[in-house]
Amino acid sequence: MKPKHQRLVLLVIALAVLIGAGLLAAWALRNQASYFYVPSDIASDPPETGRAIRLGGMVQQGSIQREADGVTMNFTVGDGAATVPVRFTGIAPDLFVEGSGVVAEGSLAPDGTFVATNLLAKHDENYMPRELQDMSDAQAKQVVAEAE
């Protein structure tokens, strides 16, 4: 076999290995990816039960109910078009209140309840840390720039 043919065979083998590794990585990430849904997405095209997803929306007013164990709570997340009942067991973040934004990680149960394993509370765009409230805009920007 000529050296030119040997290089061509090595190149084909290297490309096959790279494509195989890429396909394996994509297949592995497909099982680990969690997609983001809003309540209207779940109402129109619900994901299969047990699949890890993220649910985002607003916590409905008057919907938070704690169970007797003190760590399990039920609440409703809505987006103005649909609502999804959510069940969470654990310690909720400090910013988690009715009427605030929330991103819940978990999966949909067969009864249509979203079982959350993690809650991420969101604050509005006007949020200002206490440390920066008494500063002028220029001082606050300087502190933020120094922290980055």
Right CATH number for 33-121 from 3.40.47.10, 3.40.50.150, 3.40.50.1820, 2.40.50.140?
2.40.50.140
Write down the domain spans for the chain.
33-121
Cα–Cα distance for residue pair 120/86, rounded to 1 Å: 13
* 37 is an annotated ligand-binding site residue: no
* 127 is an annotated ligand-binding site residue: yes
Residue range 52-83, pLDDT digits in tens: 899 999 999 999 999 999 899 999 999 888 99
Rounded-to-5 percentages of helix, strand, coil across the chain? 35, 30, 35
Q: Three-class SS of residue 91? A: coil
The pTM assigned to this predicted structure is 0.65
Residue range 87-146, pLDDT digits in tens: 999 998 888 888 888 999 999 999 999 999 999 987 666 666 566 567 677 776 776 677
Strand partners, 87: 74, 115
